[in-house]
A = this chain, B = another copy of it.
């Protein structure tokens, strides 16, 4: 975060000194996709810029294109740490996982992958009161973390089919969310989903996967992919202000900016340090 400044043109809605959240997605606001709220697909010069095309904004000043559609006023009372994860990870889990997946009250939701994005999907899914969220990961410590974050069950990939079957009378999960990005986990998602169910892919993939249409063609399955639009930031800000979600639970370590190298080191050795998200803050 920090304070983003766009000076005095008279045409923008942000003013010097405004406290804003900067989205990972910059959006022109008037192309075909922006007009439909699909900011992640902006054709007018916007893109997934911060943290992807250029490095992040750990700087005193940053030039932000399309400031009106790329920054979000932070409500009074919300702390930097509370809103930080709305720049990308939480909207990704909410939009690409939960909304695209169409999670509804009473659903059984399977989340494959319990890293930060999978845990975010878990938090986001709970907003729709599923009957059960099953977290699936091959690493025991991650499954423990999933239970802490509110998963009803946390199992290994090998146990997943049995657990989902037991919870759904053998039918399969209503929604499965892929939060890893490798072929095995995607295929697991398509195995676990019920007829008429939904597979929401959130993971970033580097190679093709096998889609078993020889069994899926007849199952009425919907599969979605997506880059975040961050169109949900205002909604998520309201939920934070209302105390309905608390993203600070993702922070496992906190550092002042004067210890930035320690912070990066802690994050780089996440397996060892147990780091989930590392928070750095300007020191007074």
| A binding-site residues for B, Cβ under 8 Å | 11, 13, 28-30, 32-38, 40-41, 44, 68-69, 104-106, 126-129, 131-132, 152, 181, 186, 195-196, 201, 203-214, 216-227, 231, 234-236, 238-239, 241-242, 244
Report the minimum CB–CB distance from A250 to chain B (whole Å): 18
Are A206 and B195 in contact, with the CB atoms below 8 A?
A: no
Which residues on B sit within 8 Å (CB–CB) of A241? 131
- Smallest distance from the beta carbon of A171 to chain B beta carbons, Å? 8
Shortest Cβ distance from residue A37 to the other chain B in the assembled complex, whole angstroms: 6
Q: A37-B36, A128-B129, A196-B33 are in contact. Are A208 and B204 (CB under 8 A)?
A: no
Q: Are A41 and B239 closer than 8 Å at their CB atoms?
A: no
Contacts of A238 in B (CB 8 A): 106, 131
Copies in the complex: 4
B residues less than 8 Å from A196 (CB atoms): 33, 36, 38, 41
> Chain B contacts of A152 at CB under 8 A?
242
| Given the contacts A205-B213, A218-B227, A105 and B235 also touching, CB distance less than 8 Å | yes
Alpha-carbon gap, A29 to B12, bound state (A): 11
**Bound CA–CA A216/B238 (angstroms):** 26
Among A35, A223, A242, residue most surrounded by chain B Cβ atoms (within 10 Å): A35
Q: Are B213 and A221 in contact (CB under 8 A)?
A: no
